[in-house]
Amino acid sequence: MNLEEFRENFINEDICAESVNNHRYEEEVFIDIATDILKNDYSLITDMSQCFYEFIKGTKAYKSMRIDAAYLDLVSNTVNLLYVDFNKDEMKNITNEFIYNKSQLLLNYFENSLKGYFAQAEQSDPAVQLAKDIKLNIEYIYKIHLFIASTNKLSKVVKTLELPDFVYNNKIFKVDLDVLDIEKIYNSKLANFQKDDIIINCSDFGITGIPCIKADIETDQYESYLAIVPGSFLADIYKKHNASLLEANVRSFLKFNGAVNKGIRGTILNEKSRFFTYNNGISTTAKSINTIKNDTGLLITSFTDLQIINGGQTTATLAATNIKNNADLSGIFVQMKLTILKDSDPELIRNIARYANSQNKVKTADLNSSHPFYVRIEDFSRKVYAPLASGNIVQEKWFFERARGQYEQPMMQMTKSQQNDYKLVNPKKKKFTLPDLAKYINCSEMLPHFVSWGGEVNSAKFHSNMEKMWTKDNSFCNELFYKELIGKKILFSFIENIISDQPWYQERRAYRPQIVAYTFAKLVYEAREMKKDINYIEIWNHQSVSDVFKSEISRIGKLVFDTIYDENRSTANIETYCKKEECWQIISKKTYDLSEAIVERFITPSEQKIEKVIAKKEQRFTNGISDEISVYEKGSKYWTSIIERGKSQGVLNYNEEKQLLAAVNYCNGKYLQLSSYQIKEIVKIMDKLKEYMIE
């Protein structure tokens, strides 16, 4: 598929069709897609919220301005501002003049915010709240990062996207600019896509190099170094590269816990000579480094794709304290463990991040898409056809995109005819991702305040809860669970459409994700109060939600809307307020009477019990067969080596050794089959041995 074909499909199917299906403006859909690409493909942002505001008739006091989305990222001391250029007609070139004009509109918004343009404006408007937050946190802000997202193509005449610093009241703000044009969007969908590596040259930050010692470890997977890093260097590279330096789990952790650690900040300001002793240091990875030798030893002179996987809070706090307090970071040093990865094994990278962060009291979940839970959901999504929907002649499947690009990348190599056949069975509107899955389930578990945090944090919270259930009994994840999950997805989309059509929402068009999450959770809460639940299987069977839900959802949605817009709320910023459990406690306790019509659609726990018991038994049987096949496929040599390593490390008792020996005999044909007890015990032993990293 070439660029022109991709653009046509992208505009017609990804944006226009999605706009119709979800009752949203085309620009709103495009903003969500652009945000997702900037965040997950190019690692340029941690978040972005829609907050359209336009003032086209500039005055002497206030300049013309426009923003479509923005985010004040205090973790990285940056304001992200987005202008969207959605053109569904013939592709045009994005010129230097266009870039300058639109960048100026974004900068004017920032300037007008500081000048007080929004002082008397409606405080609940997202753009107004952002302006207020910018003014309130101006001491922390170091950089203004501008983004232009467009369905047009960047002209070859445009050679640089550099902009001068922005100065206001003698305070200097660095300005970065990135243009996400249709070519960059296209490239992000290709199977061989890789974002450009970040090259950090120490000389660019005022030092010759970083003293280090290479660990004498022989392995074909990685090299290890121990280094002493100047605090000023860490702060400077963080101020320049922000989220690009942080592994995804670390970004999630920092967003949830806040950027500035008061203890670290206090040490910087008051006891900086003791910083090295007090601080645990940081753990990092890189693709490669350059080194030189001098009289003192080995120096690292540059890094390629440096990633901070533990110590993000230390790094962020060094930068924040330097910016707000003008702290002198000279004399502050941080110990660094650096792992140079010789290959891009994602499992190794995840495990390094996972174990490096294991000491955190609030541990970020290991968002490992290869976890057996997600693999099983993917398996169901590939083999379970949805019931034939009214008017359809072909049975369709819901497509779970466990790993990024699974849905679109196969189509990039297909002919037009093959693409049509593929989309006939796997329509785009039936695709959902890991963050989507977490969103649907946490809404149904009445955790809308988690959902309001956004994809990364909510997914981390979901994953943590899921792992506890999986460890206890993974048979909960069965075909019935999958069908109920799709029922929740259908209901979630239904609620989105109902909310979008409400006049009270149309008037402001803000906080839709939060209103939808709270509406879903409140509906579940009221059903549970009556000792009932939503019949997700009925929704699955019909592949739609009954019309009796419409008026109920609109009424609950209005209740949620009125609550979060209540001027007496404890937190002025609505987006922040929705992240608090307090918000959910208030909404859940609000008096509400369900209609008789909708109560009749609910089911009781006893009505679900039999089906759930059967589904669990069937899944356990399937698990047993799958585990037995897995035992056999590993072969006797594998099991013999596991026994030897387990014995040498003293982590196997007599009974465990006996069970693993049964696996050896089974693979050698001495046993015709293994009992369900033996299979279960072998799986349990292997789970135990993973903790010792001997597998």
pLDDT in tens, 171-180: 999 999 999 9
Provide the 10 A C-beta neighbour count for residue 413: 11
Q: Please check whether residues 300 and 437 belong to one and the same domain.
A: no
Q: Please check whether residues 660 and 526 belong to one and the same domain.
A: no
Q: Please check whether residues 597 and 617 belong to one and the same domain.
A: no
Strand partners, 286: 340
The number of folded domains in the chain is: 4
Residue type for 490, please? Answer: I
Mean pLDDT of the chain: 87
Residue 240 domain flag: yes
Which two three-digit tokens encode residue 346?
């994602």
Q: Is the pLDDT of residue 249 over 60?
A: no
Q: What is the pLDDT of residue 356?
A: 59
Residue 103 domain flag: yes
Q: What is the DSSP string of 195-252?
A: PPPPEEEGGGGT-S-EEEEE-----SSEEEEEEEEEHHHHHHHHHHHGGGGB-HHHHH
Q: Please check whether residues 508 and 469 belong to one and the same domain.
A: yes
Highest mean pLDDT among 156-160, 488-492, 599-603, 630-634: 488-492
Residue 193 domain flag: no
What is the span of the domain harbouring residue 461?
376-603
Strand partners, 80: 71, 145
For 504, residues 6+ apart whose C-beta sits below 8 A from its C-beta are: 558, 561
For 90, residues 6+ apart whose C-beta sits below 8 A from its C-beta are: none
Distance CA 7, CA 237 (A): 36
pLDDT in tens, 178-227: 999 999 999 998 877 888 888 999 999 999 999 999 988 767 778 899 99
Residue of higher predicted confidence among 76 and 53: 53
Q: What is the DSSP string of 306-321?
A: -EEEE-HHHHHHHHHH
How confident is residue 234, by pLDDT bands cut at 50, 70 and 90?
very high
- The 3-state secondary structure of 324-368, one letter per residue: HCCCCCCCCEEEEEEEEECCCCHHHHHHHHHHHCCCCCCCCCCCC
Residue type for 556, please? Answer: I
Distance CA 74, CA 324 (A): 11
Distance CA 79, CA 63 (A): 19
pLDDT in tens, 394-439: 889 999 998 888 898 888 888 888 988 999 999 999 999 999 999 9
Report the residue count for the chain: 695
Q: Please check whether residues 506 and 529 belong to one and the same domain.
A: yes
Contact 175, 164 (CB under 8 A): yes
Q: Is the pLDDT of residue 377 over 50?
A: yes
> pTM here?
0.79
Q: Please check whether residues 313 and 396 belong to one and the same domain.
A: no
Residue listed under structure tokens 């693409």: 419
Residue of higher predicted confidence among 510 and 348: 510
Of the ranges 290-294, 312-316, 345-349, which one carries the lowest mean pLDDT score? Answer: 345-349
How confident is residue 693, by pLDDT bands cut at 50, 70 and 90?
very low
Question: How much of the chain, in percent, has pLDDT values that exceed 90?
Answer: 53
Q: What is the pLDDT of residue 314?
A: 86
Q: What is the pLDDT of residue 28?
A: 94
Q: Is the pLDDT of residue 366 over 50?
A: no
Which two three-digit tokens encode residue 599?
């109560």
Contact 521, 443 (CB under 8 A): yes
Q: Is the pLDDT of residue 363 over 60?
A: no
Residue 695 domain flag: no
Q: Quick one: average pLDDT of 483-495?
A: 97
Q: Please check whether residues 243 and 165 belong to one and the same domain.
A: no
Distance CA 184, CA 24 (A): 24
Residue 370 domain flag: no
Q: What is the pLDDT of residue 252?
A: 58
Q: Please check whether residues 536 and 588 belong to one and the same domain.
A: yes
Final residue in a domain of this structure, among 188, 219, 251: 188
Q: Quick one: average pLDDT of 78-103?
A: 95
Which two three-digit tokens encode residue 107?
């900068």
Strand partners, 228: 335
Residue 369 domain flag: no
Of the ranges 512-521, 612-621, 643-652, 676-685, which one carries the lowest mean pLDDT score? Answer: 612-621
Q: Is the pLDDT of residue 648 over 90?
A: no
Residue listed under structure tokens 């590269």: 241
H-helix or E-strand containing 289?
Answer: strand 288-294
pLDDT in tens, 43-59: 888 889 999 999 998 89
Residue 367 domain flag: no
Report the greatest alpha carbon distance in the chain.
91
Q: Quick one: average pLDDT of 257-271?
A: 75
Q: Quick one: average pLDDT of 295-313?
A: 89
Q: At what angle do helices 312-324 and 231-241 cross, to 10 degrees?
A: 90
How confident is residue 29, by pLDDT bands cut at 50, 70 and 90?
very high
Q: Please check whether residues 18 and 145 belong to one and the same domain.
A: yes
Q: Please check whether residues 140 and 89 belong to one and the same domain.
A: yes
Residue 363 domain flag: no
Dihedral sign for Cα atoms in the order 370, 374, 380, 381: negative
Q: Quick one: average pLDDT of 521-548?
A: 94
Q: Please check whether residues 533 and 490 belong to one and the same domain.
A: yes
Q: Quick one: average pLDDT of 663-688?
A: 81
Final residue in a domain of this structure, among 303, 326, 356: 356
Final residue in a domain of this structure, among 603, 620, 654: 603
In the DSSP assignment, the letter for residue 603 is B
Q: Please check whether residues 622 and 597 belong to one and the same domain.
A: no
Contact 39, 46 (CB under 8 A): yes
Strand partners, 167: 172
